[in-house]
Amino acid sequence: MLKFNSSLKALGAATLLGLGSIAVSAPASAQSLQDVLAKVRQDSSQMSAEDQQRLREFQADTAAQSQKMADARGALAAAESRGRALSAQFDANEATLADLEAQVSEQAGDFQELLGQFRSAAGETMPEIANSFANFDYQGRVEGIAEIAEARTLPNRAQLERLPEAMIQEMVAQSEVKSFTAMVDGIGPDASNAEADVMRVGVFTAATVDGTKFVEVKKKDNGDTFLQAFKKQPSGAFASSMNSLVKAGPDQIVRAPVDPSKGNLFGILGDLPEFGDRLKQGGPVGAVIMALLAVGLLLGLYKMFTLFTMGGAMRKTAKTRQAGDGNPLARVFEAYEQNKQNDIETLELKLDEQILRESPRIERFNDIIKVLAAVAPLLGLLGTVIGMIITFTSITIYGAGDPKLMAGGISVALMTTVFGLVAAIPLLLVHAVVSAMARGNQQMLDEQAAGLVAEKAESTRGAMA
Flag whether pLDDT at 205 surpasses 90.
no
- φ/ψ (deg, to 5) at 72: -65, -40
Sign of the alpha-carbon dihedral angle for 84, 89, 94, 98: positive
Most confident of 8-12, 92-96, 292-296, 442-446: 292-296
| DSSP at 208 | E
Q: How far apart are CA 325 and CA 349, in angstroms?
A: 20
Q: Which residues pair with 193 in a beta bridge?
A: 185
The reported pLDDT for the residue numbered 272 is 74
Average pLDDT, integer, range 75-95 = 89
Task: Find, among 325, 336, 355, the residue nearest to 454 by Cα.
Answer: 336
Is the Cβ–Cβ distance between 216 and 262 less than 8 Å? yes
SS3 annotation, the chain: CHHHHHHHHHHHHHHHHHHHHHHHCCCCCHHHHHHHHHHHHHHHHHHHHHHHHHHHHHHHHHHHHHHHHHHHHHHHHHHHHHHHHHHHHHHHHHHHHHHHHHHHHHHHCHHHHHHHHHHHHHHHHHHHHHCCHHHHCCCCHHHHHHHHHHCCCCCCHHHHCHHHHHHHHHHHHCCCEEEEEEEEECCCHHHCEEEEEEEEECCCEEEECCCCCEEEEEECCCCCEEEEECCCCCCCHHHHHHHHHHHCCCCCCCCCCCCCCCCHHHHHHHHCCCHHHHHHHHHHHHHHHHHHHHHHHHHHHHHHHHHHHHHHHHHHHHHHCCCCCCCHHHHHHHHHHHHCCCCHHHHHHHHHHHHHHHHHHHCCCHHHHHHHHHHHHHHHHHHHHHHHHHHHHHHHHHCCCCHHHHHHHHHHHHHHHHHHHHHHHHHHHHHHHHHHHHHHHHHHHHHHHHHHHHHHHHHHHHHHC
CA dihedral 32, 35, 41, 45 (to 10 degrees): -150
Q: Which residues contact 109 (CB under 8 A, 6 or more apart)?
A: none
Q: What are the DSSP calls for 147-171, one per residue? A: HHHH-SSPP-HHHHTHHHHHHHHHH
Most confident of 60-69, 317-326, 432-441: 432-441
| DSSP at 136 | G
Q: Which residues contact 18 (CB under 8 A, 6 or more apart)?
A: 28, 33, 36
Task: Find, among 236, 237, 174, the residue nearest to 206 by Cα.
Answer: 174
List, for residues 150-167, the tens digit of each pLDDT value: 766 667 777 778 888 888
Q: How far apart are CA 194 and CA 58, in angstroms?
A: 71
Q: What angle do CA 383, 385, 387 make, to 5 degrees?
A: 65
16-30, 242-256, 347-361 — which is least confidently predicted?
16-30
Most confident of 117-131, 194-208, 372-386: 372-386
The reported pLDDT for the residue numbered 136 is 87
The reported pLDDT for the residue numbered 425 is 95
Output 321 or 292, whichever has higher pLDDT. 292
Is the Cβ–Cβ distance between 420 and 379 less than 8 Å? yes
The reported pLDDT for the residue numbered 340 is 81
Flag whether pLDDT at 240 surpasses 90.
no
Task: Find, among 102, 103, 99, the residue nearest to 91 by Cα.
Answer: 99
Q: Which residues contact 445 (CB under 8 A, 6 or more apart)?
A: 314, 328, 329, 332, 355, 358
List, for residues 101-140, the tens digit of each pLDDT value: 777 666 666 666 767 777 787 778 888 888 888 888 888 8
What percentage of the chain reaches a pLDDT higher than 70?
89
Is the Cβ–Cβ distance between 353 and 342 less than 8 Å? no
